[in-house]
Amino acid sequence: MNNEHQASRRGFLRQTGLVALAVSAVTLLPRMAQAAWNKTAFSAKTLEDAYKALGAGAPAESADIQVIASDIAENGAVVPVQAISKIPNTTQISFLIDKNPTALTAQFDLGPDMLPEVSTRLKMAQTSKVIALVKADGKYFTAAKEIKVTLGGCGG
């Protein structure tokens, strides 16, 4: 009687242990796939330092990347930008703003089913070049567009 009880208790523990393992595996997987937030790159104050932190070296300019935004942003706090890459095997698109306190603003890692384009809204401290940095086949390419800002969006 006692033995049987112990056996079933052990079985129960084994089962719950397995379930817990399975649950943690499922919840941990997506986290493992995602790279940790790149603090060095996001702290970089210049384009060169940001490129270095991203491992982009000195990216080549490419006519196959489009940066779509209006020429003048009335409100630097909300500047709509879109980047479209026509470079095959584009796996990553980042936006950098030359004259912001930190250059790198956003980095998008595209899965294989994604079309190579993203749109978002960024803050600009002042008139600056907005750069789309594209990673394709492990190489980096850029395109830039100058956007005039009449009211900065970083200070208060």
Partner 1 sequence: MGHPMKIRAASSNGVTEVKVLMNHVMETGLRKDASGALIPALFITDVTAKLNDAVVLQAQWSQAVSKNPYLSFKVKGGKPGDKVAISWADNSGDSRTDEAVVS
User: Using CB under 8 A as the criterion, what x/- string covers residues 112-131 for binding partner 1?
Assistant: -xxx-xxxxxxxx-------
Is there binding between residue 87 and partner 1 (CB under 8 A)? no
DSSP 21-85: HHHHHHHHHHHHHSPPP-HHHHH--SHHHHHHHHT--SPEE-TTEEEE--SEES-TT-EEEEEEE
Among 52, 99, 102, 144, binds partner 1 (CB under 8 A): 102
Name the residue nearer to partner 1 (CB basis): 17 or 101.
Answer: 101
Give yes or no for a contact between 99 and 128, defined as CB atoms under 8 angstroms apart: yes
Residue 102 carries which DSSP code? Answer: S
| CA–CA gap between residue 153 and residue 155 (Å, rounded) | 6
Span near partner 1 by CB under 8 A; candidates 5-13, 16-24, 55-63, 75-83: 75-83
One-letter amino acid of 57: G
Is there binding between residue 105 and partner 1 (CB under 8 A)?
Answer: yes
The strand pairing partners of 96, in sequence order, are 104, 131
Least distance to partner 1, CB of residue 11, Å: 31
- Residues 11-50: x/- map of binding to partner 1 (CB under 8 A)? -------------------x--xxx-xx---x--------
Residues making up the chain, counted from first to last: 156
Q: Which residues bind partner 1 (CB under 8 A)?
A: 30, 33-35, 37-38, 42, 77-80, 97, 100-102, 104-111, 113-115, 117-124, 153-156
